[in-house]
Amino acid sequence: MNAITLADLTLEDLLPHRAGLLLVEQVLEVDSTHAHALFLVKESWPMADSRGVHPLLMVELAAQAAGVCNGWDRVKTLGIHSDQMGWLVGIKKADFFIDSLPFGGVVSARAENTYSFENLREVFCELHLADRLIGQVTLQLFQAT
C-alpha cells in the first residue's frame, strides 16, 4: 500500500468528483497533511458568466485541494480500492480579494489540514492567480462512516 506514488493515481482515485465538476488540472505536491493543486479557469465552470467565474467558486477549489490531500491519506492508509466517500463541507471563513476569476487564468491552491481528529478536519487554503493572493478559505470537513 505505501509504495503507491502520485504518478500511479488519477484524480478520480483521490476525489469523488467526475466530469464537469472535477476542476483540478494538476496536482503539484501532496502528502497526508497538505496538497498544492492547479486549476485552469474555464467558461464551462459553474458560476461562469461573460466576465469570468464568480469568486465564490474558490470555496470549491479549496475543497477539491483539501480532497486531494485527504484522498491521498485514504489511499496511503486504506489502499487504492478503499471506499471513496465524500466529505460534508462547512465554510468557517472565506475572504476573496478578486471580483472575478478570468477565463484562462491558472489558480494555484495550497490546502493544509490545520486540525485533524478521527473523521473531522479543519483545512486552511490560500489561492493565488500568478503571484497575487486572491483568496483565503477555512473549511471544516466531516466524513460519515
The answer for 82, left when phi > 0, alpha when psi is -120 to 50, beta otherwise, is beta
Calculate mean pLDDT across residues 4-10. Answer: 79
Q: What is the tens place of the pLDDT at every residue in 109-125? A: 999 999 999 889 999 99
Res. 132 pLDDT band, cuts 50 70 90: very high
The answer to whether residue 126 is domain-embedded is: yes
- pLDDT number for residue 1: 44
As a whole number of angstroms, the distance between CA 23 and CA 90 comes to: 19
Assess whether pLDDT exceeds 80 at residue 126: yes
The residues, ordered by sequence, that sit 6+ positions from 74 with a Cβ below 8 Å of its Cβ are 82, 84
pLDDT value, residue 52 = 98
Give residue 135's domain range: 6-142
Express as a percent the part of the chain with pLDDT over 70.
97
Whether 51 is in a domain gets the answer yes
Number of domains in the chain: 1
- Rounded CA separation 30/66 (Å): 10
Q: Which residue has the cell 502528502?
A: 31
| Domain-embedded: residue 1 | no
CATH of the domain at 54: 3.10.129.10
Q: Is residue 29 part of a domain?
A: yes
Compute CA 134 distance to the chain's CA centroid, rounded to the nearest angstrom.
Answer: 15
Mean pLDDT of the chain, nearest integer: 91
Residues 120 and 70: beta-carbon distance below 8 Å? no
Pairing state of beta strands 120-129 and 132-142?
Answer: antiparallel
Q: Could you say which DSSP state residue 43 is in?
A: T
Distance CA(43)–CA(49), nearest Å, equals 8
Flag whether 14 is in a domain.
yes
Sequence-ordered alpha helix ranges (H) in the chain? 11-14, 58-78
